[in-house]
Chains A and B, each alone.
Chain A
Amino acid sequence: MYIIVAGGGKVGYFLSKSLVAEGHEVLIIEKNAKKCLAIADDLGSIVMRGDACEAATLEETGAARADVIVAVTGDDEDNLVICQMAKVKYHVPRTIARINNPRNEKIFKLLGIDVTVSTTELILAHIQQEISAPDLIHLLRLRHADLEIVEARITPDARAAHRPLRDLGIPSTCAISAIIRNGKVVIPSGETCLEPEDEVIAACAPASEDALREALGTRDVPR
């Protein structure tokens, strides 16, 4: 895949490094000349100096043949505009934006950004998980399909523990896609029993989150 990463800060840098290691063609767009040089020194000629909000820059990057654009600058408004320009002018099929203010997620979705990732919200979710009953952690939201990927940890006294999935009354708009058990991925069937400390990854419509919580019994378990 050809992936354009807008923003060569820490997130953009480490993201690109991983993507390159996975064999993708990556291009980082970064405004700051010094940062560009540092990235080029380390990762080679996969960086271009420029403002990713400018059409001329996007044109030069070959946005028209990009499979994904990821906007990870520190400013939400820039990330929004980068994704919108890429979508509207260059028909980039998939746009991913980093959001700093979690409240902005709604407007990003409304305006057609495919995936939003909010570091703030991720950290918040982890803190919530630590301090209250285990709950669903939002891993990813897919706007176009009105679908989210969530994670839940099964506690020893959860309602779902030691019971097969088919008996749990999982809502039909949810699919348990994977179970992470002792660090290994288990692809579940209806017969699979959940065990304490399992991490359950589910695809789920946002509206049926509560039903999923209830089915897994992860909410009403005090720690």
Chain B
Amino acid sequence: MEQLRRALVPVNGDDVDIEAVQFACSVARRSKAKIYVIYVIEVKRALPLDAEITSDVARAEQILSRAERVAEEASYEVETDLLQAREVGSALVEEAAERDVDVIIMGARYKRRFGEFHLGTTVPYVLKNAPCRVWVMREAISSARSRQD
């Protein structure tokens, strides 16, 4: 892979975010690449897209500052951003294209639904539609077990 210039790291508050940010920092360091950590607030159709949902914004800011702290601990600087969209997946793909990133690095939980492993909708959407590389970091099953969900 050619030199990494820009990476997009979407976060959503899962513990695996931390791993993704740490990993992104360690990879980016080699080429002093820029890291954009973004959180997407999914706005229900019942509200206009630019609605200010105070609770969601507060949570998002908390999650973004946690990512900043993780990067700080790794002695790397990241840029954070908060977006509002109808669907997280398409927002991430658009954002990746707009910022012309080389890679999206995202965490995925080990989740079960109706008794089967389930990747959700966002990760498959990004894998299918992102213009750049996508690295998905699935958490260890033991982390999911210790969370008991």
Contact present between A and B (CB < 8 A): yes
Which residues of chain A have a CB within 8 Å of any CB of chain B?
2, 25, 27, 40, 44-46, 48, 59-62, 64-65
Shortest C-beta distance, B10 to chain A (Å), equals 16
Proximity string of chain B (35-51) to chain A, C-beta cutoff 8 Å, 1 when within and 0 when not = 00000000011111100
Residue of A nearest to B47 (CB): A62
Q: Which of B45, B48, B49, B85 contacts A48 (CB 8 A)?
A: B45
Shortest C-beta distance, B49 to chain A (Å), equals 7
User: By the criterion CB–CB under 8 Å, are A62 and B90 in contact?
Assistant: no
Shortest C-beta distance, A178 to chain B (Å), equals 33
Q: Say whether B86 faces chain A, with CB atoms less than 8 Å apart.
A: yes
Chain A residues lying within 8 Å of B91, measured Cβ to Cβ, are: 45
Q: Say whether B87 faces chain A, with CB atoms less than 8 Å apart.
A: yes
Residue of B nearest to A44 (CB): B90
Chain A residues lying within 8 Å of B87, measured Cβ to Cβ, are: 45
Cross-chain pairs A/B with CB under 8 angstroms, 26 sampled: A2-B48, A25-B48, A25-B49, A27-B45, A40-B90, A44-B90, A44-B94, A45-B85, A45-B86, A45-B87, A45-B90, A45-B91, A46-B86, A48-B45, A59-B46, A60-B44, A60-B45, A60-B46, A61-B45, A61-B46, A62-B45, A62-B46, A62-B47, A64-B46, A65-B46, A65-B48
B 74-132 contacts with A by CB, 8 A = 85-87, 90-91, 94
Chain A residues lying within 8 Å of B94, measured Cβ to Cβ, are: 44
In Å, the complex CA distance between A25 and B44 comes to: 13
The winner among A27, A44, A46, A59 for most chain B CB atoms within 10 A is: A44
Residue of B nearest to A66 (CB): B45
User: By the criterion CB–CB under 8 Å, are A62 and B44 in contact?
Assistant: yes
In Å, the complex CA distance between A51 and B71 comes to: 45
In Å, the complex CA distance between A62 and B47 comes to: 7
Bin chain B's interface residue count.
Answer: 10 to 19
Residue of A nearest to B90 (CB): A45
Main secondary structure of the interface of A (DSSP, over half): mixed
Chain B residues lying within 8 Å of A2, measured Cβ to Cβ, are: 48
Residue of A nearest to B43 (CB): A62
Shortest C-beta distance, A89 to chain B (Å), equals 14
Chain B residues lying within 8 Å of A44, measured Cβ to Cβ, are: 90, 94
Chain B residues lying within 8 Å of A45, measured Cβ to Cβ, are: 85-87, 90-91
Chain A residues lying within 8 Å of B86, measured Cβ to Cβ, are: 45-46
Further 18 A-B residue pairs, CB within 8 A, beyond A40-B90, A61-B46: A25-B49, A44-B90, A44-B94, A45-B85, A45-B86, A45-B91, A46-B86, A48-B45, A59-B46, A60-B44, A60-B45, A62-B44, A62-B45, A62-B46, A62-B47, A64-B46, A65-B46, A65-B47
Shortest C-beta distance, B52 to chain A (Å), equals 15
Q: Which 5 A-B pairs have the closest CB atoms?
A: A62-B46, A62-B45, A45-B87, A45-B86, A45-B90
In Å, the complex CA distance between A2 and B49 comes to: 11
Chain A residues lying within 8 Å of B48, measured Cβ to Cβ, are: 2, 25, 65
Chain B residues lying within 8 Å of A46, measured Cβ to Cβ, are: 86
Chain B residues lying within 8 Å of A27, measured Cβ to Cβ, are: 45
The winner among B44, B86, B94 for most chain A CB atoms within 10 A is: B86
In Å, the complex CA distance between A64 and B46 comes to: 7
In Å, the complex CA distance between A64 and B45 comes to: 10
The winner among A40, A45, A46, A60 for most chain B CB atoms within 10 A is: A45
